[in-house]
Amino acid sequence: MQHGKYRFIVGFLVAPLALYAIFVIWPFIQAIYYSFTDWTGLSPDFKMVGFANYTRMFDDDIFWKSLRHSLVFALLLPLVTLSLALFFAFMLNVGGRRRKGAAITGVRGSGFYKIAYFFPQVLSIAIVALLFQFAYNPNDGVINGTLQAIGLGSVQPDWLGDPNLALWCVMAVLLWSTVGFFVVLFSAGMASIPKDFYEAALLDGASRFTTFFKITLPLLWDTVQSGWVYMGILSLGAEAFAAVQIMTVGPGGPDYSTTVLPLYVYQSAFRDANAAYATTIGVALLVVTLLFAAIVMRLGRRERLEY
């Protein structure tokens, strides 16, 4: 009987595991293999070069700039995004004033605010990046036009053309486009927390600040931890690549001030026709992503709370 049960389970697992191995594991193995070659990506011919690509990568100033920018994205963007999302979600669900018949409620108009916060998720990152590229235009963009209209005409930054501002401008776009998703995610988690917990805490004299850190955050910690990993992977991957590729000059400029690792992989493979070096940078990106996820999961480990 037990033998039949295991055979039944294995029968269901074989197909998905085979697909996962073919479309996920095998490409990783191929990338690691090609990183030890001189493959251009334009010809099937190549030869093994050992660790030459890795030696070149460690001596590449652009690689280190890209790594630094990617780490800034991975560390700061999740912190700011999740903090804002938690604040907004708390206000929309339990942060409102006491009303007749309901001690625990969200701020007035919370339904509208949820839609407004989630709206950027309806748009693709490509559309968002294009819209903000026009908004950041130093000559006729919305931002500088607004500054001029309110009497700050002397303050007209070249948002995407200034090496000291460009990276932060891209980060602001990613923040605007992703915070709404986590507001909805955390709102769903807060809606499942029994209102009795908040009512009992308020009766004991606890403030909203105290209820957030003593009730809401501990009970949402698993969701916050998962969101941190997810947001970090987005910051190291496709979201950051798309925003930098579309919005910045070069792209990746000015003076490589916005180049991130995914963009450098793309440029090495398709602009420089050096697929082997691109896979080498991709392997480094894989290691950084795995380390980031492992560190977040380790630091965020705590006793699970149930209710």
Residue 85: pLDDT band by 50, 70, 90 thresholds? Answer: very high
Q: What is the distance between the alpha carbons of residues 231 and 82, in angstroms, rounded to a whole number?
A: 9
* pLDDT digits 0-9 by tens, 254-303: 989 999 999 999 999 999 999 999 999 999 999 999 999 899 888 877 66
Cis previous bond, 194, omega within 30? no
pLDDT exceeds cutoff 90 at 120: no
The answer to whether residue 191 is domain-embedded is yes
| Residue 117 in domain | yes
pLDDT digits (tens, 9 = 90+) for 217-252: 888 888 898 899 999 898 898 889 999 999 998 889
Domain tally, the chain = 1
Read off the pLDDT of each residue in 18-42 and give the average, rounded to a whole number. 91
How much is the pLDDT for 175?
93
Mean pLDDT (the chain, rounded): 87
Do the beta carbons of residue 203 and residue 195 sit within 8 Å?
Answer: no
Q: Is residue 36 part of a domain?
A: no
Omega before 27 cis (within 30°)? Answer: no
Does residue 284 belong to any structural domain of this protein?
A: yes
User: Which of 215, 160, 167 shows the shortest CA–CA distance to 70?
Assistant: 167
What is residue 247's predicted lDDT score, i.e. its pLDDT?
93
Average pLDDT, integer, range 48-76 = 94
Task: Please say whether the beta carbons of 2 and 238 come within 8 A.
Answer: no
In a domain, 34, yes or no: no
Residue 103's pLDDT is what?
Answer: 58
Q: Is residue 25 part of a domain?
A: no
Q: What are phi and psi of 301, to 5 degrees?
A: -70, 130
Percent of the chain surpassing pLDDT 90? 49
CB 277 within 8 A of CB 53: yes
CATH code of residue 118? 1.10.3720.10
In a domain, 99, yes or no: yes
Q: What gap in Å lies between CA 84 and CA 186, rounded to an integer?
A: 11
Range of the structural domain that residue 103 is part of: 57-299
Q: How confident is the model at residue 44 (pLDDT cuts 50, 70, 90)?
A: confident
Does residue 154 form part of some domain? yes
Could you tell me the pLDDT band of residue 212, with boundaries at 50, 70 and 90?
confident
- Distance between first and last Cα of the chain: 37
